[in-house]
Amino acid sequence: MHVQMSRKTAHHIRLAQFELLRILAMCGVVMNHVFNYGLRIYDDFSVAASTPMGFLEWSILELMKLVSLPSVNCYVLITGYFLINRSRFRLKGIWKVWSTTWVYAVGIYLLAVVFGAIPFSWDEMLTQATPLLSNTFWFVTSYIALLLLAPLLSWALRRASKRQYQVVLAVGGIVCFQPLLGQFTMDRQQILLFVYLFMIGGYIRRYAKKLSLTAYSILAYIGILLLMYAYTLYKNNPLNNSDFVVYAMAYHGLVLPLSVALFLAVKNWRIKNDTVRKCILFVAPLSFAVYIIHTQSTIDSWLWSVSSEWLSNCQTHLLPLACIAITLAVFIVSAIIEYIRVCFVRIVAAISTKLGLF
């Protein structure tokens, strides 16, 4: 007997791909940090690429780094996609981002002091207690600013025609894209890039929601990725250099179209396996805390000190697996910590409600 799927179930199936992208994006953020602070690619890390095996090892590491770069951009594209039609302030969303950041910033610091890992300092305590003012977590500062601007952006863009919206995106591309004016205007201006990504996500939601571009987007993604790889190969100048370094690129450079291609490739996926979908929807809400926990200054210092020592003792052909292992370990442990925190908050709230405290 044919049973019509409920609207709620169908809605969750459609949303699961975005939640999966959110999880993968946070894994990409961690992977980026593994390369930056574990492998220390900006210091003296290099791979002897004079042999075919050495060149293959460098290529794998370089592609892993490039694949992880769109992570932050995709996170913001998702926000634009879902908030473009909302004109009210999402106070609940802003509170969730800020409170999660504050709890872990202050909580981890105080725990480290209690267990004697670091000495107490009023200056450091003030820094941790005011993460937005101190810009301890640059992503959080820019993201909350975007959430505050979102209703205004949505209100303005809702009154724009499709052609006017396209003009805004074209001007934004000229200002933000690195090969154009972006190389002069985008130095540390993350909020400007976040606004532009928000507008791109909104445009996709408004005018390309039903358009299936999956195959073309995958081809575009592969093409841009190979172009980025070729550029890093050119930068290493293989004719005059046998030691290759792993290069990164700016979020507003080729990473920008790579991010859009990835987003378009994912947006029409249909994850129909009920078990997989439930796992995705369970893990996704825990993913934001992964960023806060592993970048909190105390954890950050310890984590990358241990990781860099371990990675420096790894054989080169094992480095890709080691980087993946660290990424998964950081994500899983942080997600478990967040799950425990959420359960604790729910229990306290339930008890408080029962006792009539709230």
Per residue in 55-99, pLDDT (tens digit) is: 999 999 999 999 999 999 999 999 999 999 887 878 888 999 999
- What would you measure as the largest C-alpha separation in the chain, in angstroms? 75
Amino acid letter, residue 116: G
Query: Confidence band (pLDDT; 50, 70, 90) for 9?
Result: low
The mean per-residue pLDDT over the stretch 339-346 comes to 93
Give the angle subtended at the CA of 88 by the CAs of 85 and 92, to the nearest 5°.
110
- Tell me what pLDDT residue 4 has: 47
Strand partners, 243: 48
Residues 6+ away with beta carbon under 8 Å from 13: 270, 271, 272, 277
The more confident residue out of 74 and 352 is 74
- Tell me what pLDDT residue 11 has: 54
The mean per-residue pLDDT over the stretch 144-166 comes to 92
Query: Confidence band (pLDDT; 50, 70, 90) for 241?
Result: confident
Percentage of the chain exceeding pLDDT 70: 92
Query: Confidence band (pLDDT; 50, 70, 90) for 13?
Result: low
Tokens of 86: 């909302």
- Tell me what pLDDT residue 136 has: 86
Alpha-carbon gap, residue 189 to 196, rounded angstroms = 11
- Tell me what pLDDT residue 12 has: 56
State yes or no: pLDDT of 31 exceeds 90: yes
Residues 6+ away with beta carbon under 8 Å from 258: 66, 69, 70, 221, 224, 225, 228
DSSP conformation letters of 144-191: HHHHHHHHHHHHHHHTS-HHHHHHHHHHHHHHH-IIIIIHHH-TT-HH
The more confident residue out of 132 and 291 is 291
CB atoms within 10 A of CB 65: 23
